[in-house]
Amino acid sequence: MAKLSLDNRQVPVRVEVSEATRDDLARIGALRVPTAGGGSVPLDAVADIRITEGPSAIERLNRERLVTIGANLPPGVPLGTATARFNEIVASVQLPPGVHTAESGDAEVQQELATSFVNSMILGLLLVLTVLILLFRSVIQPFTILFSLPLAIGGVAAALILTQSPVSMPVMIGILMLMGIVTKNAILLVDFAVEMRARGMTRFEAVVEAGHKRARPIVMTSIAMSAGMLPSALGVGEGGSFRAPMATAVIGGIIASTMLSLVVVPSFFLIMDDLQRVASWVFGRFVGAKEEEPAAPDPRDLAAALDDRQAEIAALEARLLRLEGDRPHRLPGGLHVAE
């Protein structure tokens, strides 16, 4: 673009043709344009000049021209299905060079939500794994609890299919909440089995005892949670249609995980115990023998030792009193008077 030097500034120079020339295509085509060799040619020699429609405004994003295509979804079609279908159509069309597509609006928000959900799940699982390793003092056994999490996914999928509900933000929130409930049920079983083994039971007896003693609290908690979610699943109250998919996913996941956890978690516990034995046999020679913690003393032995110590203290106090009684008193003049 030509510029005019004015003092210390350079002012851009723009030339505008008259209105009569702008209305006449022949005059526009006769305009001279410079060439690379330094000469000039008519405009119609290098371009096709015709009257047509163009954009009233040019929008840009990241220094690229932007064209937005929007559509209203028909009833019953979820956003994810529509986005996948649009991507299939775009893939079948040969776009001009330099042209690419990118999601925006609700589709972009949904993609960001899915990415955030995956990150939240990974961070949550890592945090749960860290806490379980510290709780059970084992690296392998906590995976028994993590392997129980997929048990709820089948129930969530079945519930959403039966109610014809799409996977949306409330459903993802419900899945996050469901992971905590399923983890809690598995922890009840595994922790009780570990405690029973510490008391001298075999691993099979410990697993059976854990299933027998922990089945009632697990079932009661699941029933209470499902009953609490039932009004939301029925869409009762204002905004019920928004909360219904979340409650439906939670109820389906709770039912499936409750029925399967009492069977699958004990089986995983036995498998992980065998794997822990193999790992200890393989890596034990490199790590060294595990330090055995001293056994807790019997409370009756502690009580007897305490009684003996108190009797010794009483005997020492009596001896001190006798010694104090046999000691002579010294008068101020240096004389000793025996009692």
**pLDDT of 337 higher than 50:** no
Say how far apart CA 308 and CA 166 lie, in whole Å: 73
Which pLDDT band, with edges at 50, 70 and 90, does 332 fall under?
Answer: low
Task: For residue 165, give the nearest of 225, 223, 226, 240 by alpha carbon.
Answer: 240
pLDDT value of residue 336: 47
* Tokens at 250, concatenated: 């939670």
Which of the four pLDDT bands, split at 50, 70 and 90, describes residue 329? low
Beta bridge partners of 329: 337
- Please count the CA atoms within 13 angstroms of the CA of 284 that sit on its side-chain side: 10
Q: What is the pLDDT of residues 105-147, one digit of tens each?
A: 877 887 888 888 888 888 888 888 888 888 877 778 788 888 8
Q: What share of the chain is helix, strand, coil (3-state, %, to 5)?
A: 60, 5, 30
Q: What string of H, E and C letters represents the secondary structure of 41-108?
A: EEHHHCCCCCCCCCCCCCEEECCEEECCCCCCCCCCCCHHHHHHHHHHHHHHCCCCCCCCCCCCCHHH
**Residue pair 105/86 in contact by the 8 Å Cβ criterion:** no
The per-residue pLDDT for range 245-301, each reduced to its tens digit, is 888 888 988 888 888 888 888 888 888 888 877 777 776 666 655 566 666 777 788
Identify which of 50, 5, 3, 7 has the alpha carbon closest to the alpha carbon of residue 26: 50
pLDDT surpassing 60 at residue 32:
yes
Task: Count how many residues are written for the chain.
Answer: 339
**Domains of the chain, start order:** 138-278 (1.20.1640.10)
Measured between alpha carbons, how far is 209 from 200 in angstroms, rounded to an integer? 13
Cα 90 from Cα 165, distance rounded (Å): 27
State the pLDDT at residue 339. 44
Cα 333 from Cα 339, distance rounded (Å) = 17
pLDDT in tens, 174-212: 888 888 888 888 888 888 888 888 888 888 888 888 888
3-state secondary structure of 8: coil
DSSP bridge pairs for 65: 60
Sign of CA dihedral 190, 193, 198, 202: negative
Q: Is the dihedral angle over the CA atoms 60, 61, 66, 70 positive or is it negative? A: negative
